[in-house]
A and B are shown apart, each in its own frame.
Chain A
Amino acid sequence: DVKVTQSSRYLVKRTGEKVFLECVQDMDHENMFWYRQDPGLGLRLIYFSYDVKMKEKGDIPEGYSVSREKKERFSLILESASTNQTSMYLCASSYGGYEQFFGPGTRLTVL
């Protein structure tokens, strides 16, 4: 079974803090993705990565950066957290086909 794990289920941070969200997959997948999910706005792609050290912007990259130093790990960084980044963050991985495997999500609250 593919397993995608995320470092925290719930996180509370203060405005201006630097926030790291970690995602690890155990199936040697090439592709990894970070989404945020908000009521009424659905699943929006922040960044994705096709290979180690490679990254591409998704639909809403502003205010975020990513890091992929190892194939199994994809990190999302909020350089200076703001209240409008309060959301559910979902990480996913895929082997390049149609199916994405999602982690359980991190619910981030920025106060």
Chain B
Amino acid sequence: EPEVTQTPSHQVTQMGQEVILRCVPISNHLYFYWYRQILGQKVEFLVSFYNNEISEKSEIFDDQFSVERPDGSNFTLKIRSTKLEDSAMYFCASLGGGTGELFFGEGSRLTVL
């Protein structure tokens, strides 16, 4: 069964450092998302991406965040200068269109020290 894969599974970084989280969505999907979850609690929407541009973003997704799909397969989330409060589990999801349900990766745990 096709799946969304995310790397790394866990990253520890110092405050102020740049972090890139990578995702490989399901190959024929067209819509891509990043969500984050802090301490196993609420799942918060960050950004949606379609046709190589951002469709929608939340207030959390400020200038420190960016997304891109550089090579037609990887979908990346970059945090330019990490803060302590960026520590969370980050989930990538993709959507095939017309079905509605999101397919999630297993997540990348980011710890900012």
A and B associate: no
Report A's interface with B, CB cutoff 8 A. none
Chain B residues near A (Cβ < 8 Å)? none
